[in-house]
Amino acid sequence: MESVEDLSLGPCTASQYLRPFRLRYRQNGISKIWDFMRSHDSVSILIFNTSRQCFVVVKQFRPAVYMCEMERKCPQNFERKKQETWNPLPNSLPASVGVTYELCAGIVDKPELSLEEIACREILEECGYEVPLATLKRITSYRSGVGVTGSKQTLFYAEVTDEMKASEGGGQPEEGELIEVVEIPLKDSMDFAYNESFPKTMGVIFSFMWFQTNVAPNLLEN
Ligand SMILES: O=c1ccn([C@@H]2O[C@H](COP(=O)(O)OP(=O)(O)O[C@H]3O[C@H](CO)[C@@H](O)[C@H](O)[C@H]3O)[C@@H](O)[C@H]2O)c(=O)[nH]1
Ligand SMILES: [Mg+2]
């Protein structure tokens, strides 16, 4: 996962994932503009393996995260002068600066499938567990990136056992996905959540805390 080579930065003129727009409007008599992007809604799933009392999360190279670090360390690479062409970038940063821990997640891009169906497919593709649709629990939904995309993410909870493991997971290689499945022991999970040396999404932190309030007390009783 951690070998990323031949980087070059180019313009994004047409994308099936992101479409930039500018909205002009008047609010309480004041004229404003706001730039935003349309992107897909998504689902994410907190997965807890009861056989081994651990959370199952994924680790991925995220180009957007990598390029944030690139801009911080080598801002000259983002200078606008030749933005209409592809500009080779120096391999100045290790790929690991762009790797994040995340909940298993996927974009909602199949109108014929329910959110639950999309979630179950993502669990199988990314983490390798067969989860029956009816056992999936909806936790809540929230808006992510409210300044930029405002897209909705719906969060589910899935309990799995070792017996439900059907494959290694790892994402769909034909779509270029390269995902590492990582287990976080329940006993270490709150330290992990707040340890900034493990870059992670808000979804991981929020859902681990949700588990502490809503699931962990019942586990202790059993
Ligand atoms: O510029 C892009 C964007 C996506 N993909 C592909 O699209 C798929 C997306 O994977 P999927 O697992 O469905 O989505 P995620 O990347 O996990 O979803 C993310 O995307 C959502 C919508 O942007 C975010 O809100 C989520 O938090 C985040 O997990 C992958 O196969 C990618 O290869 C590309 O090839 N190029
Ligand atoms: Mg995903």
Q: What is the pLDDT of residues 113-134, one digit of tens each?
A: 999 999 999 999 999 999 999 9
Q: Are strands 42-49 and 151-160 parallel, antiparallel or unpaired?
A: parallel
CA of 42 to the centre of ligand 1 (A): 9
For the domain 40-221, what is the CATH code?
3.90.79.10
Other CB atoms closer than 10 Å to residue 98's CB: what's the count? Answer: 21
Q: Which of 19, 42, 47 to mutate to test the pocket of ligand 1 (most atoms within 8 A of CB)?
A: 42
- pLDDT tens-digit series, residues 19-65: 999 999 999 999 999 999 999 999 999 999 999 999 999 999 999 99
Q: Measuring CA to CA, which residue among 175, 191, 63, 172 is closest to residue 127?
A: 172
Position with higher pLDDT, 84 vs 35: 35
The neighbouring-strand residues paired with 102 are: 58
Q: What residues flank ligand 1, with Cβ below 6 Å?
A: 17, 39-40, 42, 102, 105-107, 144, 151, 153, 175-177
Which atom of ligand 1 has the smallest separation from the CA of 63? 1
CA of 106 to the centre of ligand 2 (A): 4
Which atom of ligand 1 has the smallest separation from the CA of 39? 23
Q: What's the per-residue H, E or C state across 102-167?
A: ECEEEECCCCCCCHHHHHHHHHHHHHCECCCHHHCEEEEEEEECCCCCCEEEEEEEEEECHHHECC
CA of 8 to the centre of ligand 1 (A): 20
What residues contact 114, with CB distance under 8 A and at least 6 apart? none
> pTM score, two decimals?
0.94
What residue's CA is closest to ligand 1, atom 4? Answer: 17
What residue's CA is closest to ligand 1, atom 6? Answer: 175
What residue's CA is closest to ligand 1, atom 25? Answer: 42
Position with higher pLDDT, 23 vs 90: 23
